[in-house]
Amino acid sequence: MKNLMIELKNVSKSFTYSENKSDNLKKVLIGFSKLKFRLMGKKTIQVLSDLNLKIHQGEFVGIMGRNGVGKSTLLKIISGIYSPTEGQVYVHGKIAPLLELGAGFADELSGYENIFLNGAILGYNRQKIQDRLDDIIAFTDLGDKIQMPVRNYSSGMLVRLGFSIAAHLDAPILLFDEILAVGDVGFQEKCLNKIDQLYKSGKTIVLVTHSPEQVKMFCNRCIVFDNHRVIYDGPTHSGIDAYLKVF
Amino acid sequence: MSQPLQGQSSAFQSNKIQNMVDLFCPYHKFLVFNLVQRNLKLKYKKSVLGFLWSFISPATTALVYYVVFKHVMKVSIPNYLTFILMGILPWNFLLTCLGAGLDSLVTNHNLLNKIPLPIHALPLAECLSAIINFTFSLPVILVVALLLHVPITWGYLLIPFFLFLLFLQSFSYALLLGVGFVYFKDLRHAVSVTIQLLFYFTPILYKVEMVPESFRGFVYLNPLSMIFSSMNQIASEGIIPSPIQFLHATFATVVVFTIAYFTFKKHQYKVIESL
Q: How confident is the model at residue A155 (pLDDT cuts 50, 70, 90)?
A: confident
The confidence score (pLDDT) of residue B8 equals 37
Q: Does A151 touch chain B (CB under 8 A)?
A: no
Distance CA B117, CA B121 (A): 8
| Whether A120 and B31 lie within 8 Å, measured CB to CB | yes
| Whether B5 and A91 lie within 8 Å, measured CB to CB | yes
pLDDT tens-digit readout, A61-119? 999 988 888 888 999 999 888 888 889 899 988 888 988 888 888 888 899 999 999 99
| Whether B8 and A89 lie within 8 Å, measured CB to CB | yes
Scored b (16 or more CB within 10 A) or e, A160-183 reads: bbbbbbbbbbebbbbbbbbbbebb
The confidence score (pLDDT) of residue B263 equals 92
Do the beta carbons of residue B259 and residue B173 sit within 8 Å?
no
Please report which residue ranges of chain B form alpha helices under DSSP H. 16-22, 29-44, 48-66, 80-107, 109-112, 121-147, 159-183, 187-201, 213-221, 225-237, 243-274
CA A201 to chain B, closest CA, distance in angstroms equals 17
CB contacts, 8 Å: A99 with chain B = 114-115
Read off φ and ψ for residue B255, nearest 5 degrees.
Answer: -65, -50
C-alpha atoms less than 13 angstroms from C-alpha of B11 in its C-beta half-sphere: 13
The confidence score (pLDDT) of residue B84 equals 92
Do the beta carbons of residue B121 and residue B28 sit within 8 Å?
yes
Choose the closest CB to B113 out of A24, A81, A89: A81
Q: How confident is the model at residue B13 (pLDDT cuts 50, 70, 90)?
A: very low
| Whether A83 and B7 lie within 8 Å, measured CB to CB | yes
pLDDT tens-digit readout, A226-237? 888 888 888 888
Distance CA A215, CA A64 (A): 9
Global pTM value: 0.86
CB contacts, 8 Å: B275 with chain A = none
What 3-state class would DSSP assign to A98?
A: strand
Q: What is the CA radius of gyration of chain A?
A: 21
Average pLDDT over chain A reads: 85
Residue A143 to residues A150, A194, B61, Cα–Cα distance (Å)? 14, 19, 51
Chain B interface test: which of A7, A82, A83 (most B C-beta within 10 Å): A83
pLDDT reading at B169 higher than 70: yes
Do the beta carbons of residue A214 and residue A183 sit within 8 Å?
no
Q: What is the DSSP letter of A174?
A: E
pLDDT tens-digit readout, A101-116? 888 888 888 999 999 9
CB contacts, 8 Å: B2 with chain A = 92-93
Distance CA A9, CA B165 (A): 41
Read off φ and ψ for residue A113, nearest 5 degrees.
Answer: -65, -30
Average pLDDT estimate for B213-218: 89
From its phi and psi, is residue A142 left (phi > 0), alpha (psi between -120 and 50) or beta? alpha
pLDDT tens-digit readout, B128-154? 999 998 988 888 888 888 888 888 888
Distance CA A207, CA A228 (A): 17
Helix axes A126-140, A155-168, angle to 10 degrees: 130
Contacts of residue B122, defined as CB under 8 A and 6 or more positions apart, other chains included, come to B35, B101, B104, B105, B108, B112
